[in-house]
Amino acid sequence: MSEELKQEGGFGSSLALLDALGIGPVWVRRELAVEEVVAAATIENSVVEVVESQPAVASVNEPVTQAAPAAATLPAPAPTPRPAAAPVAVPPRRTAPIEDDGGPPSWLDEMDFAASMETMPIPDSEDEDEALAVDPVIARVAAMDWPALKQQVADCRRCGLCQGRKNTVFGVGDEKAKWLFIGEGPGRNEDMQGEPFVGPAGKLLDNMLAAMGVKRGDNAYIANIVKCRPTDENGRDRPPSPQEVAACLPYLQRQIALIQPTVLVALGKTAALALLGLDPSTPVSRLRGTVHRYQDLPLVVTYHPAYLLRTLNDKSKAWADLCLAMSTYQAQPR
């Protein structure tokens, strides 16, 4: 991690300092550019409407016709009414691309599916023995090394997601990383390439990592709650079901045990609820700003990068979450 970020006040606690050093998180600033464009368009349209509403003024270069004698004066024709100016349409604000273009899925709103999801029956450390007795695969997975675990995931048929996948998405990065970032599940791009966060959301995540002084594959590992792409009957991305999460979670648990990270960062609601075992109606806003614990490891919750692409104003909140994660990392014994 860069020495500049280890200054007094915590990692990245001053955006002015980061900007002065030339390493400011440009991803935080994206909404400012959008707001400037929208404001400029609004001002321009207002000026056009004011000008259109003013009465026409004769040009100084127009010749002036002399008045005829009074006797020959004819009644002046009635002035032709000037047609009203057509309203100028304000350019619509661009929205994020749909899934087919590799962008964030339309359902990725933190409150869209909160009420429709049932409670996730995810075992925690307290009932681990009971889970092992019910599902013997968990015991085998818990003893696997990296090659065996990767092969197990590639051959997995524990839920119905295997039927529609092109590739499993195991995870990527430094297998001894201190930072573990956990997303929800693969989308279309990830399913095609077999790597997590490779579309627009992945580019944003890479910028977020760079602002923290780490990068993909260097002291950072990126994984998902589920390893196969969840889709609906129309082939569109959807959040994984509780059963799909429960079937896949042992793989992530083994990854965590093998990596032994210092700090976990849950990217989005699904990842946070799966790791913490909370009620599905819990909003991300209630989980932010607090250092949670997952099997004695500090866990910080922030927004999913795809959600941030749809809600630009929350990027500053995500940066505050990353600052909390970095402060937590700095406080851990090493």
Amino acid identity of residue 334, one-letter, is R
pLDDT band at 118 (very low <50, low <70, confident <90, very high): very low
Could you list the beta-strand ranges (E) of the chain. 172-173, 179-183, 220-224, 263-267, 292-294, 297-302
- With a cut of 70, say whether residue 88 has pLDDT above it: no
DSSP letter, residue 105: -
The SS3 assignment for 218 reads strand
Q: How many CB atoms lie within 10 A of CB 51?
A: 9
| Tokens found for residue 313 | 């104003």
Proportion of the chain above pLDDT 90, given as a percent: 54
| Tokens found for residue 219 | 């002291």
pTM score over 0.75:
no
pLDDT band at 136 (very low <50, low <70, confident <90, very high): confident
Closest CA to 159 of 241, 280, 237, 278: 241
